[in-house]
Amino acid sequence: MKKALVLLLVLAAMMIPAFASGSGEQQVTTLTLSEVHAEGYPTTLADYEFARLVEEATDGRIKIEVFSGGTLYGEETGAIEALQIGDIAFARVSASPVASYVPALNIIQLPYLYRDGDHMWQVLNGPIGQDMLAQIQESGSGLVGLAYYDAGSRNFYTTKPVNSVADMKGLKIRLQNNAMMVEMVKLLGGNGVTGIGPNDVYSAIQQGVIDGAENNWPTYESMGDYQVAPYFVLDGHTRVPEVLLASEAVLESLDPADVEIIKECAKQTQAYEIEQWALREQSSEEKVVAEGVVVAELTPEQISEFQALMDPIYAEYGAGYEDLIQEIINTGL
Ligand code: BDP
């Protein structure tokens, strides 16, 4: 093959999300997956597991290339928009920014909704959660929800101690791109700041642009944020699941039988991610505590102070979903 032709093919492979290259009889389609987390993080491990299962189940006809560490899109909103126009095939993102495109998703991430992780999983893997996952596509977003993953609970971490709601006053807190979360921090007395990707939180804190952020133990540890914001308050304001998303446009370009394989493989990775999550959640907590992070454990009464301020969110974002919210609360009781 002439050099120019090879170059052209390489360029085409980089530009087309579902690029099929033929070698003999076997047509290989390479699909791109975007991930903000680093190698070794539970969701990244699940991405690779997904790729492995799909490649195996299609006898190598479909390969999934994982771009970790936010190298393709540092902000998940960018990845979501790329999926909508079919620029990439998959993205593993948090459900939080997805709610900007599929508002119903806010219902499964309302502040203080779940009693614990088991409660959340009963809801997500039951009819309510599965219906929400289907709604991602049914809403006409151009996105397809393939599977939920665990991301534990989210907590505030700051450059100075927070031991009560009163200490939140005036704090600039980085949030994901989700208006409901901005409202949540406002109700707690702080100021929500969006538009900063998770990989840039560390430097934003260091430069004094923000006073802190909120996340789970593994992200706090993995991104190194604990080094610049060493006060972690266990307020557990939200449990926001991760979602593995596909581009509807890219799936439509594939053989329907392969789409079924992809959906099935994605589902199979959930248990694996949850297992990896549990291990990492514990080791991350141990690591940051050993490095001197100051953890504020709140009493149930103190947590109630946070929770009591959330009523306006339930009124605004829960409007029309009152029965569903009640059903979620009753799940597992
Ligand atoms: C982490 C999620 C990741 C989000 C990040 C964030 O795993 O998908 O991008 O939070 O806060 O927990 O942006």
CA of 198 to the centre of ligand 1 (A): 6
If you take atom 1 of ligand 1, which residue's CA is the nearest one? 219
Judged against a pLDDT cut of 70, whether residue 237 lies above it is answered with yes
CA of 8 to the centre of ligand 1 (A): 36
Q: Which residues contact 172 (CB under 8 A, 6 or more apart)?
A: 190, 191, 193, 209, 210, 211, 212
Q: Write down the H helix ranges in 101-255.
A: 117-124, 127-138, 179-187, 201-206, 217-222, 248-252
Mutate to test the pocket of ligand 1, among 43, 75, 76 (most ligand atoms within 8 A of CB): 76
CA-216 nearest atom, ligand 1: 12
Averaged confidence pLDDT in the chain: 94
Say whether both 11 and 68 belong to one domain.
yes
pLDDT at 26: 81
Say whether both 207 and 294 belong to one domain.
yes
Report the interhelical angle of 256-290 vs 42-57 (nearest 10°): 160
Structure tokens, 2: 């002439």
Say whether both 301 and 269 belong to one domain.
no
Say whether both 12 and 87 belong to one domain.
yes
| Residue 128 domain-assigned (yes or no) | no
Say whether both 271 and 313 belong to one domain.
no
| Residue 170 domain-assigned (yes or no) | yes
CA of 129 to the centre of ligand 1 (A): 20
If you take atom 13 of ligand 1, which residue's CA is the nearest one? 198
pLDDT at 116: 98
If you take atom 2 of ligand 1, which residue's CA is the nearest one? 94
Say whether both 24 and 89 belong to one domain.
yes
| Residue 30 domain-assigned (yes or no) | yes
Judged against a pLDDT cut of 80, whether residue 6 lies above it is answered with no
| Digit-coded pLDDT (tens) for 15-35 | 444 555 555 568 999 999 999
Whole-angstrom CA distances from 4 to 9, 10, 17, 191 are 9, 10, 21, 54
Say whether both 146 and 226 belong to one domain.
no
- Domain hosting 308: range is 154-239+286-330
| Residue 120 domain-assigned (yes or no) | no
| Digit-coded pLDDT (tens) for 52-89 | 999 999 999 999 999 999 999 999 999 999 999 999 99
Strand (E) or helix (H) holding 29:
strand 26-35
Distance CA 9, CA 11 (A): 5
If you take atom 10 of ligand 1, which residue's CA is the nearest one? 215
CA-154 nearest atom, ligand 1: 12
CA-152 nearest atom, ligand 1: 12
Q: Which residues line ligand 1 (CB under 6 A)?
A: 36, 43, 76, 93-94, 151, 176, 198, 215-216, 219, 242
Angle at 261 between CA 258 and CA 262, to 5 degrees: 90
Mutate to test the pocket of ligand 1, among 215, 239, 276 (most ligand atoms within 8 A of CB): 215
Distance CA 287, CA 43 (A): 19
CATH number for position 315: 3.40.190.170
At residue 65, φ and ψ (nearest 5 deg) are: -100, 120
Confidence class for position 182, pLDDT limits 50, 70, 90: very high
CA-214 nearest atom, ligand 1: 11
Confidence class for position 14, pLDDT limits 50, 70, 90: very low
Distance CA 53, CA 51 (A): 6
Say whether both 73 and 161 belong to one domain.
no
The answer to whether residues 97 and 77 touch, using CB atoms and an 8 Å cutoff, is yes
pLDDT at 8: 45
Q: Which residues contact 238 (CB under 8 A, 6 or more apart)?
A: 109, 110, 111, 112, 113, 153, 154, 181, 184
| Digit-coded pLDDT (tens) for 104-157 | 999 999 999 999 999 999 999 999 999 999 999 999 999 999 999 999 999 999
| Residue 126 domain-assigned (yes or no) | no
Say whether both 219 and 306 belong to one domain.
yes
If you take atom 5 of ligand 1, which residue's CA is the nearest one? 198
| Residue 107 domain-assigned (yes or no) | no
Residue 59 DSSP one-character state: T
Confidence class for position 7, pLDDT limits 50, 70, 90: very low
pLDDT at 10: 42
Mutate to test the pocket of ligand 1, among 67, 75, 96 (most ligand atoms within 8 A of CB): 96
Q: Which amino acid is at 293?
A: V
pLDDT at 12: 47
Say whether both 231 and 306 belong to one domain.
yes
CA of 71 to the centre of ligand 1 (A): 15
Structural domains counted in the chain:
2
Say whether both 45 and 13 belong to one domain.
yes
| Residue 277 domain-assigned (yes or no) | yes
Say whether both 84 and 58 belong to one domain.
yes
| Digit-coded pLDDT (tens) for 201-227 | 999 999 999 999 999 999 999 999 999
pLDDT at 104: 97
CA of 41 to the centre of ligand 1 (A): 12
| Residue 106 domain-assigned (yes or no) | no
Q: pTM of the predicted model, to two decimals?
A: 0.93
Report the interhelical angle of 127-138 vs 117-124 (nearest 10°): 60
